Each structure stands twice: as C-alpha cells, then as structure tokens.
Amino acid sequence: MPISIRPLRASYPAFAGEVSGIDITRPIGREDITAIEAGMDTHAVLVFRGQDLTDEQQLAFTLNFGVLERYKTPGHVRKREDNRLGPGIADFSNLDKHGNIMSPEDRVWFFKLGDHLWHSDSSFRPVPAKYSLLSGRIIPSWGANTEFADMRGAYDALDARTKAEVEDLVCEHSLIYSREAIGFTDLTPEEIAAFRPVRQRLVRTHPVTGRKSLFLSAHAGAILGWTVPEARMFLRDLTEHATQREFVYSHAWRPGDLVMWDNRATMHRARRFDRHEVRDVRRTTLAGNAPTVEQEPVA
C-alpha cells in the first residue's frame, strides 16, 4: 500500500504533514523514497509516528535521502571521547556519556540551550544542512515541543518593498552569535577559531522546487555592508515576522516519533522542559550540496 501524507494543520495545509502506511525501521523501496521526497518538497516537515528505531535503523533510513554531514570541527563543545552515541548520530539528549542527566553548569548544556532560539541546522557551516531527522526515544512528561516555521510562507508574505530589500543581502552566521544571544560568551580561543563566521544569502532558492525562502537563523549576526545594530534589528524583525503562529507547526513529541525537516525551507527551535527529567532525542543530518553564496577566502 502506498504511503499517505495528511496535513497536520487544517488552516495552513502547505506546511508539515504526517506520514502513514510505512514502517521505517525496515528497508524501504524506491517508490516510498520518491513519495517521501515529494512530501518533503511540499510540506518541508514530515512526522512519522510509532517508529521504534535503533540508531542503525535511523542511519539506514536517513541514507535513503543523501549523504551524512561530516565536519572535522564540532558544532558543539562535547569532546569525542565523551560521546554517548556512535558515529553518525548526534546526541541531543540531556544525558552525559554515563547516561546521567547533565549538570546545569555543564558547558554542553549551555550549548543545547542555544537551540531554544529559532535556527536552521548548520547555517554556521559553509555548506548548510539539507534534512535533519530527529528521533524521540525518551520524552519528558511536560513541554519539550519542537517548533517549526515555514520560511517559504514567511518570504511569500513579505511586502514588495521588503522583498526587494532582502533579495541580495548576505549575512554572516556563527555559533558565536547564537550563544552570545543567551549570554554564553565563555568560549575558548579554539572554539572562536572553529566558529569563524560564514556567509549565507538571506533569500535562498530551493534546489528542487525553485521556491524562495528567508534564510534566517539565530546564528546570523551580521549583514554585509550594514552596521551590526542595524543588521541585528532587521534580522530580529524578520524573525518575528517569520515565526508568527500562522507559519508555525509545534510538534508535541511521543516516544517513537521521527520528525524530518528540510533546513533549506524551515527554521526550528526546542521548547522548555523540566531538566530533571530525561529527554533522549537523537539526530541524523544530511549534507547540503552547495554553499548559498561564495565564501570569503581564508586568509
């Protein structure tokens, strides 16, 4: 039986869908892969319920849609030897390598708190991510939703003057900006060097659908040719516009959910939960295929 996709929001059906009729713990065929890709191009966020995935199964499902993103420099501060999970799977839990809940003073926890700001995964990398796939293994009893904003709809809804203004703008993105926004500025010289800003277009065009979207992210902290205060205020205004309720789907997690989103068309953020409860969610990330703009040559 072919898969079916049901819009998750009646009032805004073009964004976020729930997939049924498929077991993604097993290998899937070309027809299903094509249907899921088409669903991603339409909805940008897809939810699969009741998928009791192992890490190996999550990786195998992910690889149907591209190649894993791999970078030598980390996107966070956890040392490799402190990893709880194997290669290819990013740990977005609040657990340390021994399976204990992190201390609230753990620097890894500070980095995770930055994910509560609206962002697009790896926008601080020269080639930002394609899809992210987040698997909910253990879900806290309260809060912890993940919210998604449709950056295509947000772009379409801009007035003509603003569309013309943003068209050719280029931003600088860095983890330094998003962590500074929550008051976490205690970065080592190595981290500062690793998080050197990269350039991203503010308006990007989806490589498959050709639709334009706003490429915003908490990692964006400057606009080329603008003063920093002017740039930050404009980015904040645009983010407020793009994250109005009409463009947002808020995912309430159940154990066994797999949520897949296209970073090239969406932003997302984590919501609060009781940090004394375990939240075990695991992410696989697919590499994008091109930078959005030429990078500054490294001196």
Query: Which residues here bind Fe ion, judged by CB under 5 A?
Result: 121
Q: Which is nearer to Fe ion, 43 or 268 (CB)?
A: 268
Q: Which is nearer to Fe ion, 32 or 115 (CB)?
A: 115
Residue of minimal Cβ distance to Fe ion: 121
CB of 186 to Fe ion, least distance (A): 22
CB of 269 to Fe ion, least distance (A): 8
CB of 107 to Fe ion, least distance (A): 18
CB of 120 to Fe ion, least distance (A): 8
Q: Which is nearer to Fe ion, 121 or 280 (CB)?
A: 121
Q: Which is nearer to Fe ion, 158 or 286 (CB)?
A: 286
CB of 226 to Fe ion, least distance (A): 26
Q: Which is nearer to Fe ion, 25 or 217 (CB)?
A: 217
Of 284, 42, 16, nearest to 148 (Cα)? 16
